[in-house]
Amino acid sequence: MSQVMIIEDESDIAGLLAHCFACEGFQVITAGDGRTGLDLVHLHHPGLVILDLLLPGLSGWEVFRSLKASPRIEKTPVIILSANSDVTDRIKLLEAGVDDYLVKPCSVKEVIARSRAVLRRTGASTAAREGAA
């Protein structure tokens, strides 16, 4: 079972995602701001991070840069889920190493399907299971 960290300041979106991921068998951790989210990623080492860009405290960009700068968690896959639909920003993030980028509003089923695809592609799902054993 993979652990997913959802860093999202809109509590209704975070709650819906957390509920749906849990129903699909994922362990879920949530944070409503960038600093707390980053601290929890360092503490729990989830298999996947779902990250909003517009967060209080540390922005999603800052959280992403911090994740990629940390040797212990730099390979953790990150999916951006943001209302920011600017193509230039999406391209910059994808080129910087984001594993996927979805624009809100979007289907929760699509978020979960893309999450599973990222976990398969990166091998994080297998690594998370082996680390838990």
Please give the pLDDT value at position 131.
Answer: 40
**What is the C-alpha to C-alpha distance for residues 26 and 48, in angstroms, rounded to an integer?**
10
**What is the C-alpha to C-alpha distance for residues 83 and 44, in angstroms, rounded to an integer?**
27
pTM confidence score? 0.88
Which CATH number do you get for residue 59? 3.40.50.2300
Residues of the domain holding 69: 3-132
Long-range contacts of 117-121 (CB under 8 A, 24+ apart): 118/48, 118/77, 118/79, 119/2, 119/47, 119/48, 119/77
- The partner residues of 101 in beta bridges, in order of sequence, read 80
Segment 95-102 mean pLDDT: 92
Residue 92 identity (one-letter amino acid)? K
Residue pLDDT, tens place only, 64-75: 999 999 988 899
Number of domains making up the chain: 1
Q: Binning pLDDT at 50, 70 and 90, where does residue 89 land?
A: confident
